[in-house]
Amino acid sequence: MLHVNVQPVLETPRLTLRPLRRSDAPRIAALCSDFEVARTTARIPHPYGLADAEAFLDLAAARDPARELDFALDMPGEGLVGLLGFFGEAAPATEIGYWLGRPYWGAGLMTEAVTAALAWAARDWGRTHVRAWRLDENPASDAVLVKAGFLYTGERRQTFVLSRGEFLPSRGQIWLA
Ligand SMILES: CC(C)(COP(=O)(O)OP(=O)(O)OC[C@H]1O[C@@H](n2cnc3c(N)ncnc32)[C@H](O)[C@@H]1OP(=O)(O)O)[C@@H](O)C(=O)NCCC(=O)NCCS
């Protein structure tokens, strides 16, 4: 198993994937306060304010980067446009999650970010497989995962969606390095 003490910066054609900073809080709050962003994620609450972003950044800073880490997705001229995180399982597995601010949807940005992050996780972070869970009602995330090379595992489960206070059906997908 490989360990990283210093999180890398990854470059894609349009994005820089970099470690989070405390100064990201206002931008994260602005983008995550949109219910359309929160409603298909498990863990973004709604309403969402600056204190929620600061609490998230505190938690993220306390994580062991050998096990769990988040990348800010930065776009030149825009700043932070979204987030991508690996969490949950211990190496050689991990789980991926992500969101993008609504003004940036539909341009292939998350597929670009996920593809770069997967390549790094396999090459430098010792991950041989990456899991994802997405709501049945989230075809955009399904498209991202399929374009990035994920397969369906056939697993189904009810996922609690914080912003809506209810369990909703979701399915498991997996990427094999
Ligand atoms: C899911 C999300 C990250 C997608 O980001 P994105 O940069 O817009 O994704 P991409 O542009 O790379 O790909 C989106 C694909 O979904 C497709 N899509 C979008 N809405 C769709 C819909 N309602 N039905 C079917 N396909 C849809 C797009 O056409 C595109 O596919 P294509 O490139 O083959 O045309 C973004 O919508 C988001 O942040 N949503 C809210 C948070 C969230 O759901 N996170 C994931 C939790 S599992």
- The domain ranges of the chain are 10-128
Q: pTM value?
A: 0.96
Instruction: Tell me the three state secondary structure of residue 103.
Output: helix
* CATH class of the region 10-128: alpha beta
Cα–Cα distance for residue pair 150/101, rounded to 1 Å:
23
* Predicted local distance difference test score (pLDDT) of residue 7: 87
**C-beta of 167 in contact with ligand 1 (< 6 A):** no
* Predicted local distance difference test score (pLDDT) of residue 1: 43
Strand order in the sheet with 79-87: 10-11, 16-18, 69-75, 79-87, 93-100, 129-135, 166-176, 151-161
For each of the chain's 177 residues, which pLDDT tens digit applies? 444 557 899 999 999 999 999 999 999 999 999 999 999 999 999 999 999 999 999 999 999 999 999 999 999 999 999 999 999 988 899 999 999 999 999 999 999 999 999 999 999 999 999 999 999 999 999 999 999 999 999 999 999 999 999 999 999 999 999
**C-beta of 105 in contact with ligand 1 (< 6 A):** yes
In testing the pocket of ligand 1, which one of 75, 138, 141, 160 has its CB within 8 Å of the most ligand atoms?
Answer: 141
20, 61 contact by CB (below 8 A): yes
Q: Tell me the CA–centroid distance for residue 5 and ligand 1, in Å.
A: 32
**For residue 44, which atom of ligand 1 is closest to its CA?**
42
From atom 21 of ligand 1, which residue's Cα is the shortest distance away? 140
In testing the pocket of ligand 1, which one of 28, 31, 35, 40 has its CB within 8 Å of the most ligand atoms?
Answer: 40
* Predicted local distance difference test score (pLDDT) of residue 5: 57
Q: Tell me the CA–centroid distance for residue 3 and ligand 1, in Å.
A: 32
**For residue 110, which atom of ligand 1 is closest to its CA?**
7
